[in-house]
Structure 1
Amino acid sequence: MISQLSFSQGSPDYDGGLKVKLNEDGSKYFRVISWAQFWAQYNDNVAEDASKTNFSIRRARVLLYSQINKDFLILTHFGLNSLNADNQSPTGLGEASQLFLHGAWVQYSLGEHHSIGGGLHYWNGISRLNNQSTLNMMTLDNNRQSWATIGLSDQFARHIGIYAKGSFGKFGYQVAINESVTNNLQATAEPVSGGNAVYAGRRLLGSKDAGKNYAGYFEYSFQDKESNFLPYKVGTYLGGKKVFNVGAGFFYHPSGSVIANADGTLEGEDVAIFAVDAFYDAPLGDNGSVITAYATYQNNDYGTNYTLGQTYETGSMIYGHVGYVIPNADKKIKYQPYVLFNNRSIDLIDDNATSFGIGANAYISGHNSKLTLEYQNTTYGDNDGQGVLTLQAMIYL
């Protein structure tokens, strides 16, 4: 059964949320989690006839999981993302207005420390950030390039497949074999002779040679061990735990991308992404201060000179962030300034993209009620930097 440590969010008010016991000792139960994130953004780099300030719902989600026996679990997760004035519909029936299935999987225990499961799941490979929970990020949002396969091989960072996960002492693992989606972000793109790779292996080469992908993430805990009951990695515990983990992971999709040779024949290219990372989150003394630090190196091979929307690109990435909870006599409210940095090398343009961000969280009740203000500036190649200021209000129950 899940322990309270699985959701150590640093909230003085939160006591497991809506958990309904189905028997006296609570071994049979179901739990419901709901959350919403509202954004107000200011962007000075817009067309003359466009508003510089805009409002949106970044996320609105509901997650439900249940155990009636410690040997198996079912989880369902649904919601919507990035609803704004440009993609709303007049009667709420448009595509962007619809709730969709984020996850649905079943899991079976193989003993106290190991499990297998299958479905539309989030047991991803590559890095901690590719398994990030959206409930407790330290920065405003996740580093976008760390969700390295969204819409390319999966449905919004979730694959349909089978997985195994567990731990041997302080060593944790999760591995998966998955289907790759056919109708992805490049569902209408076609390779041209001498051109860049297109992520369309399953559609153009068939499911036999390009249908499956493989992923894994492995980590070692030097201090407190984190729960792996669910796949969602905590961004910061706000002093609730003392964690120092190092990890490494991969994603491999044989013939995931396609190029066209000089004679027009199609050839598959393997997509291979791997990363190493480290996460440290711990209180500093007894005065309420907390340090949170994360760093990762990620190598991305999507195929020859691959690029899509300045988000997915063949090259490499270094990313890191550091946050500090300021000591405060009011034990309920916490303030946490932070900085982040991302530098990507991009093969196609033989240049780099750099992002720098600075922000602060005001935790009114841990992650359950918080405000975040962040400014982030991104420079792509020799283009001028583009800055965006975002205020987020988030509540989850």
Structure 2
Amino acid sequence: MKKVYLIAVVLLLSLKGFSQGSPDYGAGMKFDLNEDGSKYLRVLSWAQIWGQYNSDRPLDANGNEQADLDFSVRRARVLMYAQINKDFLILTHFGINSLNSDTMSPTGQGAGSQLFLHDVWAQYSLGKDNAVGGGLHYWNGISRLNNQSTLNLLTLDNQRQAWATLGLSDQFARHIGVYAKGTFGKLQYRVSINGAATTNLQATATPTNNGPATYTGKRLLGSKEAGRTYSGYFEYGFLDSESNFLPYKVGTYLGTKKVFNIGAGFFSHPNGTVIADAGGNLSGENVTIFGLDAFYDVPVGTQGAALTAYALYQNNDYGKDYTLGTTYETGSMLHGHLGYVIPGKSKTKFQPYLSYDERQIDALNDNASQIGIGANAFFSGHHSKLTLEYQNLKYGANKAVNTITLQAMIYL
């Protein structure tokens, strides 16, 4: 037992890298509970701190101009999972998101300051390569980006529209339900059946007569009519196999693997949204989202150069003329990003990248486009990095919004 405590202390004092470009981190904060390490507890902790400049911030609630520069804790998380034998696993993940000067509270007891559960699930193995489980989980459908890890992103952050159900039918991209996941040769799969959230981003909305749909199916029609969601994602790997031990998809391997995957996925919520006819009579609209994507990540030449490329087509049907802010809309989307690790012998690696989105929006009969230009500086793989990104968003006829963000990230 003394040996276990000693190893724990050494690991807690270490800030070395682990994967995706920093192999000296070893197994990370892994605490073995028996001699051969088959029983263990694994702990991950990370923080992402943002400084963001935006000259086009809207007026605040009192009509005052807001400062151009803002600071925030984009993410502060702890994830733990334990396996006491090969047949059972439990995972718990909690933290906060987007804590800034507006969401802070005097004594840290306000809603914006509170830790909450992101994931908690129990899993049972079905042989070597397949498993079933249940709980508040992240085994999502649609695309790779809807299953994205926030520890090893290529871009500053995930493509927001790819988290296509976040806050509508789930809690922060997690549903409560049951799932199955596994592999058959080169094919990986994940499917789930879940309960839809009653309280969501449109918790007080009601559809207007002959107006657009609102995401209020479970609240207005009841759980029997609108209480279930269904999702799945399937991908075929042509080169190296990726791990699906956990659901979180890697954004860039920094040349440590050769990966080429093609995937397809879906999300379905029968009667998830509601419309009203001219007389105010309510009826449900089925929410159906599907995606097709491809991911390519390989080392290039020598001295650590690497290429990462990703493309996604996503079709969103949230019901008649659905929109919510500039994030959710019935329509379609094309997204792509490309990154290149510059070769060199230095431990510090640089990765410039480019991303682009084009969205078609039914309700506006118009498009939205977004371009991102940035670079990552890796001091110890993804475990210690800086990211600088310029982003330009043009949404329909609205004025383009320009932001510059600097992120500092460390994770153990």
Q: TM-score with structure 2 length normalisation?
A: 0.94
Aligned to 1:176: 192
Letter matched to residue 269 of structure 2 = H
Counterpart position of 1:264: 280
What is the aligned partner in structure 2 of residue 55 from structure 1?
71
Distance 1:12 1:108, change over 3 A: closer
- Equivalent-residue separation in structure 2 for 1:379 and 1:50 (angstroms): 21
| Cα deviations by residue, 1:281-324 (Å, 9 ceiling, x for unpaired) | 00012231100000000000000000001101000000000000
Give the alignment partner of residue 140 of structure 1, picking from 133, 140, 156. 156
Q: Supply the distance in 2 between the matched residues of 1:328 and 1:142 (Cα, whole angstroms).
A: 27
Counterpart of 1:13 in structure 2 is 24
Q: CA deviation at 1:121?
A: 0.2
SS at match of 2:25: coil
Q: Is the 8 A contact 1:88 1:94 kept in 2?
A: yes
Counterpart Cα distance in 2 of 1:390 and 1:310: 19
Determine if the alignment matches structure 1 residue 246 to structure 2 residue 262.
Answer: yes
- Where 2:210 maps in the other structure, the secondary structure is coil
RMSD over aligned CA atoms reads 0.9
% same residue: 68
Matches within 5 A, 1:333-372: 333-372=348-387
The alignment status of 1:98 with 2:118, answered yes or no, reads: no
**Which of 281, 285, 290 pairs up with 1:274?**
290
Match of 2:87 in 1: 71
Would the aligned equivalents of 1:297 and 1:319 in 2 still touch at CA under 8 Å? yes
Aligned counterparts, 1:291-370, within 5 A: 291-330=307-346, 332-370=347-385
**Per-residue deviation at 1:50?**
1.7
Residue matched to 1:4 = none
Structure 2 residue runs of 5 or longer lacking an equivalent are 1-17
1:102-181 superposed matches below 5 A: 102-181=118-197
* Distance (whole Å) between structure 2 residues aligned to residue 172 and residue 41 of structure 1: 38
SS of structure 2 residue aligned to 1:202: helix
Q: Does 1:24 align with 2:24?
A: no
SS in 1 for 2:24: coil
Q: Would the aligned equivalents of 2:19 and 2:382 in 1 still touch at CA under 8 Å?
A: no
Aligned equivalents of 1:49 and 1:12: distance in 2?
47
Alignment gaps of 5+ in structure 1: 1-6
Deviates more, 1:260-269 or 1:346-355: 260-269
Q: Deviations over 1:29-48 (max 9, x none)?
A: 00000000000000011357
Deviation at 1:208, TM superposition (A): 0.5
Q: Which residue of 2 aligns with 1:395?
A: 410
- The one-character-per-residue Cα deviations of 1:326-371 (angstroms, maximum 9, x if unpaired) are 01121x2110000000010000000000000100000000000000
Amino acid at match of 1:386: V
Q: Which amino acid aligns with 1:8?
A: S
User: Per-residue deviation at 1:8?
Assistant: 3.2
1:83-112 deviation digits (Å, cap 9, x = unpaired): 000010000000000000000000000000
1:142 deviation in Å? 0.1
Structure 2 CA distance for aligned equivalents of residues 12 and 42 of structure 1: 34
Distance 2:202 2:319 in 1: 14
Give the AA of the match of 2:46: W
For residues 177 and 116 of structure 1, the distance between their equivalents in structure 2, rounded to whole angstroms, comes to 12
Q: Which runs of 4+ in 1 moved over 4 A?
A: none
Which whole-Å CA distance do the structure 2 matches of 1:264 and 1:164 have between them? 41
Asked if the contact 1:13/1:365 (under 8 Å) is kept, the reply is: no
The letter for the 2-side match of 1:393 is: A
TM-score by length of 1: 0.97
CA contact (8 A) 2:141 2:265 kept: yes
Q: Is 2:235 the partner of 1:235?
A: no
Number of corresponding residues: 390
2:334 is aligned with what amino acid? I
* One of 16, 35, 39 as aligned partner of 2:50: 39
Question: How far apart, in 2, do the equivalents of 1:327 and 1:65 lie?
Answer: 35
Counterpart AA for 1:296: L
Pair 1:201 & 2:217 matched:
yes
Whether the aligned pair in 2 keeps the contact of 1:238 and 1:290 (CA below 8 Å) is yes
Provide the rounded CA distance (Å) in 2 between the counterparts of 1:182 and 1:49: 35
User: Structure 2: how far apart are the matches of 1:358 and 1:367?
Assistant: 19
| Counterpart Cα distance in 2 of 1:369 and 1:129 | 22
1:379 aligned to 2:379?
A: no
Partners of 1:174 and 1:138 lie apart in 2 by: 23
Partner Cα separation in structure 2 for residue 369 and residue 232 of structure 1 = 19
Shift of 1:245: 0.3
CA-CA distance at 1:12 after TM superposition:
4.2
Deviation at 1:262, TM superposition (A): 1.4
Letter aligned with residue 13 of structure 1: D
